[in-house]
Chain A
Amino acid sequence: MEQSRMKEVIHTFNHSELCRKLIPAELASGWPCLKKVRGKLYIVIPYFNRMPVKSGYALYPIYCSATIPWKMPEKMLDFTVYTIQENWKDVDYSKPVGFFKHKALEDIRTKDEYIALCNRLYRCYDEMVLAVLENKPFAGEEKMAGLFSKLMEPSLYPFYEKINKKFYSNFYKM
């Protein structure tokens, strides 16, 4: 199965010097959203903390995000730490907001199955990016919404929504 470009872009950034210097090592990257700035395409990658617990992982609110150019994933346009943002001041970072895995993933038994599902969503992202770059309609919107709604951690969704409501609410149908 072919490697997703979106996954690769995130991987490249996650291994860049910039990321190493700016983003605490214990944070995990979440589902990205797209953003167009002055005609150029960027992706916003949210980062959050997760702690292993008996039943899987405890999830903490989204901590920060990095906005990187799609075509140059080792560079950065913007870096936002939410803990110091005015409209995030009521978020409590001391407690987990939920746990992985969530209910929608009950039928996913193994890690391989989960990764395969994630890869399918990443490939939907690829199709979406290609459509945007070629200025064509995105035909896979429904398929992507299905996968996104299954994979999105419901406890983290409110934070994703705070970052980019237009994008995330378009695909999260719960």
Chain B
Amino acid sequence: MPDLFVLKKDTAECFQEGAALARRLGFNAAAKTIAETEKDFLEKKLMVVTVGEMKRGKSSMLNALLGEKEQIFPVNASVATNAITIVRYGEEEKVEVVTEERKKGIMLPTTKTIHRTEIPNYVSEQGNPSNFKNVRLLKVEIPNPLLKEGIVFVDTPGVGSLNISHAETTYGFLPNADLLLFVSDASSGLTETELNFLKRGYKYCKNVLFPLTKKDTNPRYKEIMEDNQYKISAALGISIDEVTLIPISNTAKIRYLETQSKAALASSNFPEFERLMWSTIAAKRGEIMFLPFLEQVRQETFKIDENIVAQYQLLESNKEKMLELIANLKKEIEKYKSFESTNLQWKSELAESFAIMQNNNIAALSSMELEATNHLEDRITALGVKICEPEYYKQVYNEINNIMSERLLELKDQMIDKTVEEVNRVNISLGLNVDSCQRALDGLNFTPKKDLDVVFPKRKASEDAIRKGTKISRSIVGGSKIGMVIGGLLGAALAVFAGPAVIAAELGTTVADAIFYTAISSSMTGTSIGGFLGGAKGCVDAVTQGRDVDIPVVRKALTNHINESRILLTKIMNEGMITLKGRVINSFETEFTAKKRELEDNIKQIEITVNSTKPDQEKLEELKRNAETIQKYMVRLEELKDTVASLNNTEQDSVFQGNTGDIPVSTLVPEAEKKEMEYSFL
């Protein structure tokens, strides 16, 4: 197996060469894109995110997986994780806690370095009840070899818990996940809340493993396992044999780490779980960490190649055709300019869609309020005066919050779908999904000669589909980016969670995104939003402090809580929608600028050819040389892609077996030297 570090270094070098080559040939826009791709590539990590209901053993499982002598994630029967923890590789151990503090009326992130033993004081309900320390993120760097190849483990707070912010914190993180470990346990079957959460998570990440913890606590765990398998298969609409549920025991694995008892290891079933997890990671990392970037650079070089070949073919035919092509390219530029200044129908259509979306959101929030109020009345009827007792009051209060949280998550799903749909619609109506150079060339009705061995100008539709399928979106146009933006919006709406800015910056999303998150968070903190949960808190305090309250007082407090929440959410939603609309429009304008720049580069190149004082034959030779250079570079990219794809054929990761492995024969033997085998079945 190829060494991942060497491969990463080779790929980065190849991108640098590509950018230099594009610049040397005069394609500055392509050079810039390739350089940006290299930067994104170097920053890419593979995120393994654990999710599941609280107290299912997520943190224990991560401790057992990492096998650190001193456990990282706080675990205790009375402890629940309440903030996101990110664990990544670092040469030296470093633990940082990011809190948010109000400075001059604005909430700003503050980072503080702490010792490993202090972690429970910040990310557990025990050490930091209701997150009063305003912890947004815990960043842990450890010299653990399992993480060395760019794998990042993320521990999230439990969903469906009493604290509604947990679900939102975790949900906001899902668009970043490359592999989800959906944790359930052997003590009870999956709940509806968990299944709903799973359905949402699956939308973003199709790579899911289902560890079933605490298998040692229930001798009949297989029944729970079968039941979960059935529920998951029905919820996700996949067959039962596609649901990979693995029963494990965290305590047995930790006992093994302490005593080296082989019996404990066997009973933990961790070897099977780890094998499955690492082989899934090994199979996916090439696809996640390399292929999209290689494909993006290949597309850029493909465009350069097309342009050079076009010039060659046109020079071979006549100068009139070249001038005609320049005119067509200029028309394309004019079209993009008109989208910015005169032809603004797309903007008004977008504005209309956002206005409709906004109205629907308001209606959805009103119906959320109605549902919560009806639930409150039902509970008052059922419980009677018992609702004035702290235990029941808190229960109803949490039920109401769960209803609102559930509806908000549904609203978020709808907003994501609708925004993606709108963005795609505008993309198609403006022709942004079509290669604009190709369109200009097609306008010539030009029949190429066969001098250069390139299919031109018509490309095969299947190739196009494959190319477009892996395109990296650099703008908001990508569905997961929209998910993150809306995630930030609603995360902020929940007030208790104001951390998307911190997380976005941490994950290496664009500066613009981080600014956006900050804008949303700040817009929220400027209002009296801290009281989203505050309206009823006074009453909780009164109830828990044993003061006299009766049903009308409780009803009023909870009704106010519901009503204030709705008003507040509507306000935040409206402000957020304005920002979101601005971001979408801005992203289209950025796309226009990029397209114009690309077309201008093309025109410049063709003009050089038209005005060249060199005899045609000499110019033809030069173009041929350039085409050969760029095609050689494309072969190199293809070879790198093949090497990356060979990662997928390897079951285990080198660091996990201490085996550096060999590069498969297929990538070592030059194509020309291979003798094709004859197979009876091919």
B649 touches A5 (CB 8 A): yes
Residues of A within 8 A of B (CB): 2-3, 5, 8, 11-12, 14-16, 18, 25, 28, 33-36, 39, 69, 71-72, 74-78, 111, 115, 128, 130-138, 141, 166-167, 170-171
Is A115 touching B241 in the complex (CB atoms < 8 A)? yes
Contact indicator B682/A167 (Cβ below 8 Å): yes
Interface assignment of B32: CB less than 8 Å from any CB of chain A:
no
**Closest chain A CB from B672 CB (angstroms):** 12
Q: A75 near B676 (CB under 8 angstroms)?
A: no
Given the interface pairs A11-B242, A71-B645, A135-B666, the reply to whether A3 lies near B276 with Cβ below 8 Å is yes
> What are 8 residue pairs bridging A and B, where the CB atoms are less than 8 Å apart in the complex?
A12-B206, A14-B242, A34-B681, A71-B645, A74-B469, A133-B666, A134-B665, A135-B669
Q: Which of A72, A133, A171 contacts B291 (CB 8 A)?
A: A72
Query: Are B275 and A75 interface neighbours, CB within 8 A?
Result: no
Q: Is the CB of B462 within 8 A of A77?
A: yes
Tell me whether B664 and A132 are in contact (CB under 8 A).
Answer: no
Contact of B608 with A by CB under 8 A? no
Residues in B with CB closer than 8 Å to A136 are 677
Q: A2-B279, A74-B469 are in contact. Are A170 and B648 (CB under 8 A)?
A: no
- Given A15-B206, A72-B466, A134-B664, A36 and B682 contact (CB-CB distance below 8 Å): yes
Closest to B295 in A: A72
> Within the assembled complex, what's the spacing in Å between the Cα atoms of A104 and B622?
67
Give every chain B residue within 8 A of A3 (Cβ-Cβ).
Answer: 276, 279
Task: Say whether B69 faces chain A, with CB atoms less than 8 Å apart.
Answer: no
The 8 A CB mask of B664-678 against A (1 = contact, 0 = none) is 111001010011110
Mark contacts of B146-162 with chain A using CB atoms, 8 A cut-off: 1 yes-contact digit, 0 otherwise.
00000000000000000
- Which one of A128, A133, A138, A171 lies within 8 Å of B649 (CB-CB)? A133
Q: A71-B642, A72-B287, A170-B681 are in contact. List 4 more A-B contacts (CB 8 A).
A: A16-B206, A34-B681, A72-B466, A170-B680
Task: Give chain A nearest CB distance to B302 CB in angstroms.
Answer: 16
The reply on B552 being an interface residue by CB < 8 A is no
Contact residues in A for B651 (Cβ distance below 8 Å): 2
The residue of chain B having its C-beta at the shortest distance from the C-beta of A136 within the complex is B677
Q: Which residues of B contact A28 (CB under 8 A)?
A: 239
Residues of A within 8 A of B649 (CB): 5, 130, 133
Q: Is B131 an interface residue (CB 8 A)?
A: no
Q: Which B residues lie within 8 Å of A137 (CB)?
A: 677
A72, A130, A131, A170 interface centre (most CB from chain B within 10 Å): A72
Provide the B285-305 mask, 1 if CB < 8 A to any CB of A, else 0: 001000100000000000000
Closest residue of A by beta carbon distance from B275:
A2
Chain B residues with Cβ under 8 A from A12's Cβ? 206
Interface residues of B in 260-289 (CB under 8 A from A): 275-276, 279, 283, 287
Bound complex: CA A46 to CA B411 (Å):
37
Q: Which residues of A contact B675 (CB under 8 A)?
A: 135
B interface list, Cβ under 8 A from A: 206, 237-242, 275-276, 279, 283, 287, 291, 462, 465-466, 469-470, 641-642, 645, 648-649, 651, 664-666, 669, 671, 674-677, 679-682
Which residue from A5, A25, A78 sits with its C-beta under 8 Å from B283? A5
Q: Chain B nearest CB: distance from A38 CB in Å?
A: 11
**Nearest CB in chain B to that of A10: its residue:** B242
- Chain B residues within 8 Å of A8, by CB: 283
Inter-chain contacts of A25 with B (CB < 8 A): 237
Measured between C-beta atoms, what is the minimum distance from B662 to chain A in Å?
12
Complex CA distance for A115 and B242, rounded to whole angstroms: 11
Picked from B283, B677, B682, the residue with its CB within 8 Å of the CB of A166 is B682
Query: Known: A5-B283, A72-B291. Contact between A132 and B665, CB under 8 A?
Result: no
- Measured between beta carbons, the chain B residues less than 8 angstroms from A115 are 241
B276 to chain A, nearest CB (A): 7
Docked Cα-Cα span, A35 to B465, in Å, equals: 19
C-alpha gap A165/B82 in the complex (Å)? 59
- The answer to whether A135 and B674 have CB atoms under 8 Å apart is yes
Closest Cβ of chain B: how far from A125's Cβ, in Å? 11
Considering the chains assembled together, what is the distance between the CA atoms of A141 and B470 in angstroms? 35
> Chain A contacts of B676 at CB under 8 A?
135
When C-beta atoms are compared, the residue in chain B nearest to A28 turns out to be B239
> Given the complex of chains A and B, what is the CA–CA distance between A25 and B242 in angstroms?
15
Cβ contacts under 8 Å, A128 to chain B: 681
Minimum-distance CB pairs A-B, first 5: A71-B645, A170-B681, A15-B206, A75-B466, A167-B681
A17 to chain B: closest residue by CB: B469
Contacts of B242 in A (CB 8 A): 11, 14
* B residues in contact with A167, CB < 8 Å: 681-682
A3, B281: Cα distance in complex, Å: 13
Residues of chain A contacted by B275 (CB below 8 angstroms): 2
> With A and B bound together, what is the CA distance between A115 and B641 in angstroms?
33
Report whether A5 and B465 are in contact in the complex, using a CB–CB cutoff of 8 Å. Answer: no
Closest to A167 in B: B681
Closest residue of chain A to B677, judged by CB?
A135
Interface centre among B275, B279, B666, B681 (most CB of A within 10 A): B681
Complex-state Cα separation, A132 to B649, whole angstroms? 13
In the bound complex, do residue A78 and residue B462 qualify as a contact, i.e. CB atoms below 8 Å apart? yes
